[in-house]
């Protein structure tokens, strides 16, 4: 179990490449999905099915001049996009893609992902404040209050799963779910009869944590121009974009690992990384589908949903699970 320097470098390079490739092609998938739902063509000119669109967009972003607005706080303005991207890369370190494909399996994997995910809110806050733009500040206040309030039910639900599986180790949680879909955590068991509810809460929270529609109050174009990244152009904006999609991948991976049996096959055949990728991309497709189907909520509706519905239900679920585990 020695972690050599080469191991670390390879893991980091793969994590960055995976995040970047996902960011590029999820944008394409999102635009195509949006177009299909709204009955318009979408990017279809460059390459077959428009598949060359992401590299062209990337080159465009990278060749643009880096503009810093006059009144902005220069250091914080430059630091914020990096701070948005770095925690997302860190979280990939402990996500097991299959039983053997994991950069560093930790016995506190769930905790580590939540710890680094909570740093993302700070990046949004610094970006909004550093831009010195009132729309940006408003947007970052909204985004952070949303992130903080949805982190609570998400963590409580994760604790429910951790209690049922008796481990914070993502690999151990998945090995406990191996061998057929009836072992998955999403289905009610004797220990936790409300597991489907937990899954729905967790999924809603991961939508809100990644600032996706219908919860994208942080970048409501109709009210706040473009939200916290109004003042960002070129690769600064590109990094925020990549961080958003990297966070979506992490959210989908975590949902898969905690509830959907990770790399296990529904029928116990050929478990491996392909099942994991299939599951996360199905979840991401659901993310895209939801984004282009539902209208944006209001900020009060959003906060009320978390504090008045999700937190009480998840707390009740936690107590119920504890009771059932004690009795059975």
Binding site for other proteins (CB under 8 A): 73, 75-76, 79, 106-108, 111-112, 114-119, 121-122, 125-126, 129, 134, 137, 140-141, 144-145, 148, 151, 168
**What is the spatial distance between Cα 325 and Cα 316, in angstroms, rounded to a whole number?**
14
- Residue 263 CB burial class (10 angstroms; 0-12, 13-18, ≥19): buried
CA distance 187 to 197: 10
> How big is the chain by its Cα radius of gyration, in Å?
20
Q: How far is the CB of 118 from other proteins (least distance, A)?
A: 3
Alpha carbon dihedral 294, 43, 58, 77, in 10-degree steps, equals -30
Q: Considering only CA atoms, which of 144, 146, 152 is closest in space to residue 84?
A: 144
Q: What does the block give as tokens for 187?
A: 């289905």
Contacts of 274 (CB under 8 A, 6+ apart): none
CA separation for the pair 249, 65 (Å, rounded): 29
- Determine the length of the chain: 328
First to last CA, the chain: 37
């Amino acid at each position: 179990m020695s972690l050599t320097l080469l191991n670390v470098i390879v893991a980091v390079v793969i994590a960055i490449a995976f995040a970047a490739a996902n960011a590029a092609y999820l944008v394409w998938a999102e635009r195509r999905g949006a177009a299909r739902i709204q009955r318009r063509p979408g990017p279809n000119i460059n390459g077959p099915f428009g598949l060359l669109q992401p590299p062209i967009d990337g080159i465009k972003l990278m060749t643009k001049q880096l503009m810093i607005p006059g009144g902005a706080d220069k250091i914080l303005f430059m630091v914020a996009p990096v701070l948005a991207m770095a925690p997302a890369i860190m979280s990939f370190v402990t996500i097991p893609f299959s039983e053997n494909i994991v950069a560093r399996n930790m016995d506190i994997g769930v905790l580590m992902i939540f710890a680094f995910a909570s740093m993302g809110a700070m990046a949004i806050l610094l970006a909004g404040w550093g831009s010195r733009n009132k729309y940006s500040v408003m947007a970052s206040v909204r985004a952070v209050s949303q992130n903080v309030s949805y982190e609570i039910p998400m963590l409580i639900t994760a604790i429910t799963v951790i209690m049922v599986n008796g481990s914070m180790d993502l690999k151990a949680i998945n090995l406990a779910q191996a061998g057929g879909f009836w072992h998955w955590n999403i289905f009610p068991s004797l220990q936790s009869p409300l597991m489907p509810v937990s899954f729905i809460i967790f999924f809603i929270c991961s939508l809100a944590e990644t600032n996706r529609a219908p919860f994208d109050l942080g970048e409501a174009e109709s009210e706040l121009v473009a939200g916290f990244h109004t003042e960002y152009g070129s690769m600064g904006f590109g990094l925020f974009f990549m961080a958003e999609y990297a966070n979506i991948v992490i959210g989908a991976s975590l949902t898969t690992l905690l509830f959907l049996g990770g790399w296990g096959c529904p029928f116990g055949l050929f478990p491996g990384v392909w099942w994991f990728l299939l599951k996360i991309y199905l979840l991401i497709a659901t993310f895209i589908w939801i984004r282009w189907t539902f209208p944006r909520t209001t900020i009060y509706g959003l906060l009320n949903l978390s504090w008045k519905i999700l937190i009480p239900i998840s707390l009740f679920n936690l107590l119920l699970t504890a009771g059932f585990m004690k009795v059975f």
